[in-house]
Structure 1
């Protein structure tokens, strides 16, 4: 199961994205859902850091990815996060037992 969590700040802007787990549809290296989520993860990371120039803490390990903005989000970062979220929701609709998405508000 892949679990995705989008955590927002008090202004409802995404502050952190965490992606954990494996889909388990097929063997390592041939799992289409894991490959799709990985591609979206790299797209999100590169969009935030390379295209927008945002500072972000990144932790990337086998089956565990964390992106945490080090500054406030803006319209550009929200656009990237919304695009990735929309695509993930489409994948979750196709694989509901393999991919779950949560959005959490950080009250601080």
Structure 2
């Protein structure tokens, strides 16, 4: 199971992606999709960093685990909200298509399944 946690408080954004979808290695389109969305998130944030959008930007990308933390400057909040909506939309589509393999947690404790 891939668990995607997203937290946002004021100008602080955090994502944690962990686990594997459980399909056969090398043929796991769900893990590939989660990875593609996660790498897109990091690249979008690196592009924003070139415009001095963050007070802090940290990320870690490993097999089966990713962590992204960003503190956004007020002048870049609108752009960050657009990035967040786009990325979360991708993750949520995967969760709806593959509910036995992907779950979202919006930082309020246990991951909650959407009905």
TM exceeding 0.5: yes
1:14 to 1:91, Cα distance in 2 relative to 1, 3 A: farther
Instruction: List structure 1 segments (4+ residues) > 3 angstroms apart after TM superposition.
Output: 70-73
**1:14–1:81 contact (8 Å) kept in structure 2:** no
Residue 14 (structure 1) shift: 5.5
Q: Which residue of 1 aligns with 2:15?
A: 17
TM-score (norm 1): 0.84
2:99 matches 1:103: no
Q: Distance in 1 between matches of 2:72 and 2:97?
A: 34
SS at match of 2:6: strand
Which has the higher relative contact order, 1 or 2, with Cα contacts under 8 A spaced 6 or more apart? 1
Residue 29 (structure 1) shift: 2.1
Stretches of structure 1 that go unaligned for 5 or more consecutive residues are: none
**2:72–2:80 contact (8 Å) kept in structure 1:** no
Q: 31, 35, 44: which one pairs with 2:32?
A: 35
**1:57–1:70 contact (8 Å) kept in structure 2:** no
**1:6–1:14 contact (8 Å) kept in structure 2:** no
TM-score (norm 2): 0.79
SS at match of 2:59: strand
Stretches of structure 2 that go unaligned for 5 or more consecutive residues are: 109-115
Residue 97 (structure 1) shift: 1.0
Count how many residue pairs are aligned between Structure 1 and Structure 2.
101
Q: Which residue of 1 aligns with 2:41?
A: 44
Q: Distance in 2 between matches of 1:29 and 1:6?
A: 27
